Amino acid sequence: MAISASATPALTMSYTITDTQTDRTISESATAGFSSLIFANGTGVSQVDAGVTLTGSLPSGGSTVFSMTGVPKVVFNKTIDLNFGRNPAGTFPVTRPGNRIRGILIRNTWEHPSGTPPADFTIPEYPYISIMASGAKGFSGLFNGSGDYKIMPDSAWVFVDSVGIAVGNNQDELGLIDSGSGVSYEIGIIGTTGDFNGA
């Protein structure tokens, strides 16, 4: 059985500003980002051989930690652990950058119990997720530090890198921390593992 993978990160931001208060209508539009970047199957630059999406809920005031060397994935009703960590030095030819993370998306999917928050619902009441890569095993290479980014409801933090970020030895953990209300989330990770294409 042959297994292949590909990914299409799409991240664009468009806006239009229209002035209709003058004698004529003036409009400005612009777009930034990309919508046609394609990571083909493989283990080189701009390639992926594995991906996973997970959903869950953080316990109120609690956290969950994902190890980039053991991300659980269900394949044909069996759970395997994807290892985006480095293979031992010297096992890759110079044309292969080794196992790397090429994309991560983390989204806060919390919704108010009544659907739309009431008019008196204040900004400090919105539950958020903090992304951290702190501690001795923190995936600090992702942020060039410990992180601590806040994700508000119906918002996301996105990382895309065609070359990829290597997972350091024993520095492979990415933590999601709840602000105190219990927040649901989804996370997607793409990259190279060598598990499906060989080392």
**Residue 89 belongs to domain spanning:** 46-191
The DSSP H or E segment spanning 177 is: strand 173-178
Nearest by Cα to 190 from 156, 172, 164, 155: 164
Whole-angstrom distance, CA of residue 91 vs CA of residue 96: 10
Question: pLDDT digits over 60-117, tens only?
Answer: 999 999 999 899 988 888 888 888 886 644 455 555 556 889 999 999 999 887 777 7
Whole-angstrom distance, CA of residue 110 vs CA of residue 55: 12
Count CB neighbours of 37 within 10 A.
15
CATH number at residue 63: 2.60.120
Is the residue at 174 inside a domain?
yes
How many domains, in total, are found in the chain? Answer: 1
Lowest-pLDDT range, 28-32, 92-96, 154-158? 92-96
* Whole-structure pTM value: 0.84
Is the residue at 176 inside a domain?
yes
Distances (CA, A) of 39 to 9, 36, 76, 162: 8, 10, 24, 8
What are the residues whose beta carbons fall under 8 Å from the beta carbon of 151, sequence distance 6 or more? 106, 107, 108, 128, 129, 130, 131, 157
